Chains A and B, each alone.
Chain A
Amino acid sequence: GESVGLHLPTLSVQEGDNSIINCAYSNSASDYFIWYKQESGKGPQFIIDIRSNMDKRQGQRVTVLLNKTVKHLSLQIAATQPGDSAVYFCAENSNTGNQFYFGTGTSLTVIP
């Protein structure tokens, strides 16, 4: 089956620095990827998504990079703020399936 995993379970950054959260996926048929942010006791919130026909997509302070060659996804957060502290999940979906597969998450802590 598919697997989506994260390289680092925890990440601490200084306020104002940039953060990079990584994700590996194993299903080469996956063609749609999403990053979610989850604060404690709340549901995941959509951050940004990317399709497999792209290798980079930018949002407000966030950038997602997709490297299909090595099946790797990353989320970059610019000028990290205390409000960015949360668990970040990547999720993947293939056009042959109707399920999303989620990684275990990376806990980001921003140090003021």
Chain B
Amino acid sequence: DGGITQSPKYLFRKEGQNVTLSCEQNLNHDAMYWYRQDPGQGLRLIYYSQIVNDFQKGDIAEGYSVSREKKESFPLTVTSAQKNPTAFYLCASRTRDDATNEKLFFGSGTQLSVL
């Protein structure tokens, strides 16, 4: 089945620790995105990547880092600089970043909590 796989489903972070969230897609999509979702709020863009080895900051990039070494993979690292990391993280992809009328496909999300 084609789709986007996020892992783990649940993740716990200790204070001062960096953690990495995995996102893999087999849809052959060029563009990939990371969103943060807090209760009662809309999705906010953290980082996005239009093509391999290229990525741009979204609205709330501080305290996060990403890499895009392979087309299929777009891992997100939540660093110790992110002081309020508890949230539901969603990875998404679409055919091309500049493609109008192309919907986003979402993964099943990772719930990150602070110990």
Contacts and interface: CB of A to CB of B under 8 A. Distances in A.
B42 A43 contact: no
Interface in A60-112: 89, 91, 93, 95, 98-105
Q: Please give me the 10 A-B residue pairs with the lowest Cβ-Cβ distance, nearest first.
A: A43-B106, A102-B42, A102-B43, A95-B100, A98-B97, A104-B42, A43-B108, A44-B106, A32-B101, A43-B109
A41 B103 contact: no
Contacts of A105: 42
Contact of B48 (A36, A98, A102): A98
For the side of the interface on B, what is the size category?
Answer: 20 to 34
B45 A45 contact: no
Interface string B57-85: 01000000000000000000000000000
28 contacts: A4-B42, A32-B101, A36-B106, A41-B88, A41-B109, A43-B4, A43-B90, A43-B106, A43-B107, A43-B108, A44-B106, A46-B104, A46-B105, A49-B103, A51-B101, A89-B42, A89-B43, A91-B104, A95-B100, A98-B48, A98-B50, A98-B98, A99-B58, A100-B45, A102-B42, A104-B40, A104-B41, A105-B42
For the side of the interface on A, what is the size category?
Answer: 20 to 34
B25 interface: no
Contacts of A100: 45, 104
Contacts of B98: 98
